[in-house]
Amino acid sequence: MTVTDPRRLREIVDEICDRMAAETDRGHVADYIPELAHVDPRRFALVLSTAEGNVIAGGDADTRFSIQSISKVFALAVALGRIGDQLWSRVGREPSGDPFNSIVQLEHERGIPRNPFINAGAIAVTDAILSRSEPREALGQILQFVRFLADDDDIAIDPAVAKSETETGWRNAALANFMRDFGTIQRHPEKVIGTYFHHCAISMTPRQLAQAGRFLAFDGALSPGGARAIAPRMARQINALMLTCGHYDGSGEFAFRVGLPGKSGVGGGILAVAPGRAAIGCWSPGLNAVGNSHLASIALEMLADRTGWSVFAPK
Ligand SMILES: NC(=O)CC[C@H](N)C(=O)O
């Protein structure tokens, strides 16, 4: 049985928020980007933006957080819109089975990252966007796109987070230099990672995140039959990648437990997609061992269980 009744969805969201508030094991807040280490691990939010146009929000739904790797989804959509299938000559579409910042596979695979959702892949995607614009312009385009998707101009890049990662992101610099040597990226590595760090530093609320994810739930449109953001084919491809690669080396586990395309970030956010039903923004800053939000993963498992929204459930 699939739940669509907003009153029942409200009960489910409230139940999950109550359960998560009582959890004592909240995971570990990322501190390798110093600016992220200050975030309060008690935070939690769950927001559904449904096909019927309802927004069902619970917890800290209006608190801004750093979306980090969730920006890889928006950057990918912008790059595909720009250069289309040519993008796939520089980045693959296979799960990596490795941590998000791993360098080992890159040498074996001659500088072509496994997929656009690990760091190396997103750096290659960022370079593709930069092939036709300078960093400031590229960032403006990504930000404008996110604001358009969320229908909210109050979304911005957090300069303190961008600076913090620029000062400490040596491993990402290594990935970029390595790919420059192989020719996967063409612009200067410093420019490319500078742009990458800034789009990772986009800060938004869980409510804005759920709204920004609608285009993936509704086949490329902002609502069923509404304004189009990207082609249906592209939305389906991005969902496929989110299902298989959206949680790094925890992607299989997330697909198994939750059964929804999703993309996580080290800020503790997860954007999940229930195609035809809802876009979901979930946030709790503490991470599990593979760098995905500990409580958001549990909350989404509960949500999928209660709603019957798994993509593997018959429609
Ligand atoms: N998993 C993540 O969210 C990682 C993003 C972060 N900006 C990094 O490159 O390390």
156-190 per-position pLDDT tens digit: 999 999 999 999 999 999 999 999 999 999 999 99
Q: Quick one: pLDDT at residue 132?
A: 86
Q: Where in the chain is the domain with CATH 3.40.710.10?
A: 6-65+205-307, 69-200
pLDDT band for 101, please (50, 70, 90 cuts): confident
Q: Quick one: pLDDT at residue 38?
A: 94
282-301 per-position pLDDT tens digit: 999 999 999 999 999 999 99
Asked whether residue 273 carries a pLDDT value surpassing 90, the answer given is yes
Q: Quick one: pLDDT at residue 243?
A: 98
Q: Quick one: pLDDT at residue 189?
A: 98
Ligand 1 near 119 CB (within 6 A): yes
Q: Quick one: pLDDT at residue 30?
A: 96
Of ligand 1's listed atoms, the one at least distance from the Cα of 248 is 1
**CA–CA separation, 269 and 264 (whole Å):** 6
Are the CB atoms for 288 and 219 separated by under 8 Å? no
Q: Quick one: pLDDT at residue 253?
A: 97
Q: Quick one: pLDDT at residue 84?
A: 96
Ligand 1 near 65 CB (within 6 A): no
Are the CB atoms for 29 and 285 separated by under 8 Å? yes
Topology, domain 6-65+205-307: Beta-lactamase (3.40.710)
Asked whether residue 100 carries a pLDDT value surpassing 90, the answer given is no
Q: Tokens representing 32? A: 């390798």
Q: Quick one: pLDDT at residue 315?
A: 79
Is 239 annotated to bind a ligand? Reply is no
194-253 per-position pLDDT tens digit: 999 999 999 999 999 999 999 999 999 999 999 999 999 999 999 999 999 999 999 999
Chain centroid to CA 64: how far? Answer: 15
Q: What is the 3-state secondary structure (H, E, C) of 195-244?
A: HHHHHHCEEECHHHHHHHCHHHHCCCECCCCCCECCCHHHHHHHHHHHHH
Q: Quick one: pLDDT at residue 247?
A: 97
Q: What number of CA atoms fall less than 13 Å from residue 253's CA on the CB side?
A: 13
**CA–CA separation, 303 and 315 (whole Å):** 17
Q: What count of other Cβ atoms lies within 10 Å of the Cβ of residue 169?
A: 21
Residue 228 backbone dihedrals phi, psi, to 5 degrees = -90, 135
Write down the mean pLDDT value for the chain.
Answer: 97
Ligand 1 near 165 CB (within 6 A): yes
Of ligand 1's listed atoms, the one at least distance from the Cα of 196 is 7
Q: Quick one: pLDDT at residue 250?
A: 95
Of ligand 1's listed atoms, the one at least distance from the Cα of 165 is 7
Antiparallel, parallel or unpaired: β 45-50 and 55-59: antiparallel
- What is the DSSP code (8-state) at residue 293? B
Gap from CA of 18 to ligand 1 centroid (Å) = 29
Q: Which residues pair with 6 in a beta bridge?
A: none
23-41 per-position pLDDT tens digit: 999 999 999 999 999 999 9
Q: Quick one: pLDDT at residue 99?
A: 85
**Statement: the pTM of the whole predicted model exceeds 0.95:** yes
CATH superfamily, with its number, for domain 69-200: DD-peptidase/beta-lactamase superfamily (3.40.710.10)
Is 32 annotated to bind a ligand? Reply is no
CA angle 133, 32, 197 (to 5 degrees): 5
| % of the chain beyond a pLDDT of 70 | 100
Q: Quick one: pLDDT at residue 1?
A: 80
- Closest by Cα among 50, 188, 175 to 131: 188
Complex-level ipTM beyond the 0.90 threshold: yes
Exposure b/e, 245-263, CB count within 10 A at least 16 = b: bbbbbbbeebbebbbbbbb
Q: Looking at the chain, how many residues does it have? A: 315
Asked whether residue 97 carries a pLDDT value surpassing 90, the answer given is no
Q: Quick one: pLDDT at residue 188?
A: 97
**CA–CA separation, 173 and 197 (whole Å):** 10
